[in-house]
Amino acid sequence: MEIQPECPSCVALQLMRTIQHRNLTNWRSVMADTLVATAGLWDSADNPGLIIGQMYHHVNRLTDCRDPYKEQRRLADQLAELYWQRHPVALEDLHHRLLYATAGNIIDAGLNANPEESFAQLDQAIAQNFAHDDSQQFFDEVPAQATLLYVTDNSGEAVFDREVSYSNQPNKYRIVLTVRANPFLNDMTRVEAAALGFSDLVDTIYDTGTTYAGFDLELLDPRARQAIDSLDGWILKGIANLEIQSHHPAPVPRLFLYRAKCPPTARLAAVPWNSNVAWLE
């Protein structure tokens, strides 16, 4: 998704939230320095996810803080496990599990660092159902026994991603997973993936190749890139992956699962703001 007029205000909002999350006393200088450091990117950046990633890493360098959302990731996974125990979905109901995984994209430290508040809104997000749903078309387009790339996003929603992966097994879909190479916001890393049991569930787990937001195939290890090039389809979670990938062509079907958290992502699928989207690019 190319940069839209609303994107600078979203970056500013996320900058404000990350400064508040760190309880900085020198917040004015950190904000000013970060705004100056990222201002020059607007003319050249390919997508807003790149600027957001640069913004967060600049704040981390200024504050010497490499993983400020570690506790949020742990708590989000804990709350999601509890939610799943109370609201299970039948293994064969892949569509309903996809809805959980998509609605779970509401758990976003960039917009709300409090996992309890996010989960308080999850029931309502699930009850909305899909405002746009291309999931069946996606599975119709991939082979009957496909191997699929599943690009993860946030912790918490990753519990529902795991349950989607379980549902894929009876349908004879094999899963290759990608996780964040190093901590970034509340995105899932290998540590969380192992704790949630993905290692025993998917064929392979690859790092995204970057600590920035989103999945960029060009930044992967060459062997990982070659392996992913041979897959039958991609499922990509969240806004950052949508921003980086959706305006570039791919040789296989790609299903983007996300909450339309901003006007540009809502316009992309012609849906209301803050709705659930399964969009086949």
112-146: pLDDT as tens digits: 767 888 888 999 999 999 999 999 999 999 999 99
CB burial readout 179-196, b (16+ within 10 A) else e: bbbebbbbbbbbebbebb
Q: Write down the pLDDT at residue 231.
A: 95
pLDDT tops 80 at residue 15? yes
Q: What is the pLDDT of residues 238-249, one digit of tens each?
A: 998 999 888 888
Residue with tokens 């901003």: 262
Percent of the chain whose predicted confidence (pLDDT) is above 70? 98
Dihedral sign for Cα atoms in the order 244, 247, 250, 253? positive
Mean pLDDT of the chain: 91
Q: Tell me the pLDDT band of 281, cut-offs 50, 70 and 90.
A: confident
Q: Which tokens sit at 182?
A: 């190093």
Strand bridging mode 276-280 / 254-259: antiparallel
Left (φ > 0), alpha (ψ -120 to 50) or beta: where does 151 sit? beta
Separation CA 107–CA 153 (nearest Å): 10
Q: Determine the average pLDDT of the residues in 162-167.
A: 96
Q: Write down the pLDDT at residue 84.
A: 97
Stated as kind and residue range, the H or E segment containing 177 is: strand 174-179
Q: Write down the pLDDT at residue 213.
A: 66
Using DSSP's 3-state secondary structure scheme, residue 256 falls into strand
**101 beta partners:** none
pLDDT tops 90 at residue 219? no
Q: CA 158 → CA 3, 19, 89, 186, 268, distances in Å?
A: 27, 26, 15, 11, 24
Helix-helix angle 238-245:48-63, to 10 degrees: 130
Q: Write down the pLDDT at residue 64.
A: 85
- Nearest-CA neighbor of 153 among 251, 256, 265? 256
Dihedral sign for Cα atoms in the order 39, 42, 44, 50? positive
Q: What is the pLDDT of residues 66-118, one digit of tens each?
A: 888 999 999 999 999 999 999 999 999 999 999 999 999 999 887 776 788 88
Q: Write down the pLDDT at residue 246.
A: 86
Residue with tokens 């999601």: 80
Q: What is the pLDDT of residues 34-61, one digit of tens each?
A: 999 999 999 988 888 889 889 988 998 8
Q: Write down the pLDDT at residue 16.
A: 92
pLDDT tops 60 at residue 211? no
Q: Determine the average pLDDT of the residues in 220-241.
A: 90
Separation CA 189–CA 104 (nearest Å): 17
Q: Write down the pLDDT at residue 247.
A: 84
Strand bridging mode 174-179 / 130-133: unpaired
